[in-house]
Amino acid sequence: MRKHPFRLWRYRVLIPVPRDAEIISLNEGGTPLIRLKRIEKLVGVKSIYAKFEGANPTGSFKDRGMTVAVTMAKYLGFRNVICASTGNTASSMAAYAARGGLHAIIVLPEGKVARGKIAQSILHGATIIYVKGGFDSALKTVLAAYEAGLAYPLNSINPWRIEGQKTVAYEIVDEIGVPDWIIVPVGNAGNITAIWKGLKELRKFDLIDRLPRLAGVQASGASPLVEAFRENKEELKPVENPETIASAIRIGNPVNWRRALRAVRESNGVLLSVSDEEILAAQRKLARLEGIGVEPASAVTLAGFLRLVEEKIIERDDKVVFILTGHALKDPDIASSHNIRSFSANNRIDALKIIASLEGTSTFTN
């Protein structure tokens, strides 16, 4: 297969789509793996990398799963695709459906989706249905629509999504070998499930000789998986009204909870939660110490990492990778809410006086 040799589809041999399928792609994947030198120095851990999934075509990791799922939707002859979403799945599906000539129907929790994500869904011409309640209620609508034969669902219950998302693990291993830790934000837990699947496949094919430990991070107002993990339970108690500033992971009843729990336990990993304050502080650190702009849901990785270092679960010599799932511009309201020095000048002289009075750097990191 030479038609899509680059980026995600260079792993086509490990993605089980039929040979004659027309690949619907925006050249997703192949995202930058960025060494976080200033954070390494700050924290005293030897090697820390960020896999910047915000560099995907629609600004989130969802494009990896979507290229495969929309390819299959088209191959199977569906005309309508549907998803419930906290925003990123929706914007990604809208773009890939447009590219494949399919109709995107998006079910969103009203008033709970970040502005950039809604803008993208509108721009790509999706049909949007706003519903009351949170993401979990939107997903029930999608499942009912599927059962009624109205549309093909592209949430992460769809196995093709996982097949695409697992490729992030291949890319990391290709570039730096097997890290000691991979830190992943957790909402519906599709991504952490996919990453583990990718890693286990590499192990099965003897392409790697060990596996990393996974750390899954939830927001403390939406952390049912963390509870199940701590109490060593085999059941999930959904959070009724999940609340966090990280709207992408404001999910109370994660679809893939069972597989995610198994993945974390198998990897000898951990699940932990962090507060909104920690999330915002981490978002600022990534932006102002490293120049990497992520949305709050992605910043949970750094926040969780700092906790794990403090608790000495992650050690100084460890090689750690953060999965930075979405771009800062996805949520412009949160991005613009951070502290900064700003002035209003009445005229140019006034502006120059202000500039002359500035000292040092305007970088706030806390």
Site size with ligand AN7, rule: CB under 6 A: 21
Give the range of 74-82, 86-94, 146-154, 305-313 binding ligand AN7 by CB under 6 A: 86-94
Q: How far is the CB of 53 from ligand AN7 (least distance, A)?
A: 8
Q: How far is the CB of 291 from ligand AN7 (least distance, A)?
A: 19
Closer residue to ligand AN7 in complex, CB, 221/326: 326
CA distances from 170 to 61, 75, 215, 217 (A): 14, 25, 18, 21
Per-residue binding letters, 184-203, with ligand AN7 (x by CB under 6 A): -xxxxxxx------------
Structure tokens at 24: 């619907």
Distance in angstroms between the alpha carbons of the first and the last residue of the chain:
49
Per-residue binding letters, 120-159, with ligand AN7 (x by CB under 6 A): ------------------------------------x---
Assess 168 for contact with ligand AN7 (CB under 6 A). Answer: no
Binder of ligand AN7 out of 100, 116, 221, 326 (CB under 6 A): 326
φ, ψ at 310 (rounded to 5°)? -60, -40
Closer residue to ligand AN7 in complex, CB, 286/344: 286
* Contact call for residues 104 and 129 (beta carbons, < 8 A): no
* Contact call for residues 151 and 78 (beta carbons, < 8 A): yes
Q: How far is the CB of 107 from ligand AN7 (least distance, A)?
A: 10
| Collapsed DSSP state (helix, strand, coil) of residue 240 | coil
Assess 264 for contact with ligand AN7 (CB under 6 A). Answer: no
Assess 249 for contact with ligand AN7 (CB under 6 A). Answer: yes
For the chain, the C-alpha Rg in angstroms (whole number) is 21
CA distances from 204 to 172, 208, 214 (A): 17, 8, 18
Please classify residue 32 by burial: count the beta carbons closer than 10 Å to its beta carbon, then call 0-12 exposed, 13-18 middle and 19+ buried: middle
Q: Which residue has the tokens 């969103």?
A: 108
How far is residue 254's CA from residue 190's CA, in Å, rounded to a whole number? 9
Give the range of 8-16, 22-30, 183-191, 334-342 binding ligand AN7 by CB under 6 A: 183-191
Assess 31 for contact with ligand AN7 (CB under 6 A). Answer: no
Assess 297 for contact with ligand AN7 (CB under 6 A). Answer: yes
The contact set with ligand AN7 (CB under 6 A) reads 60, 85-89, 156, 185-191, 248-249, 295, 297-298, 325-326
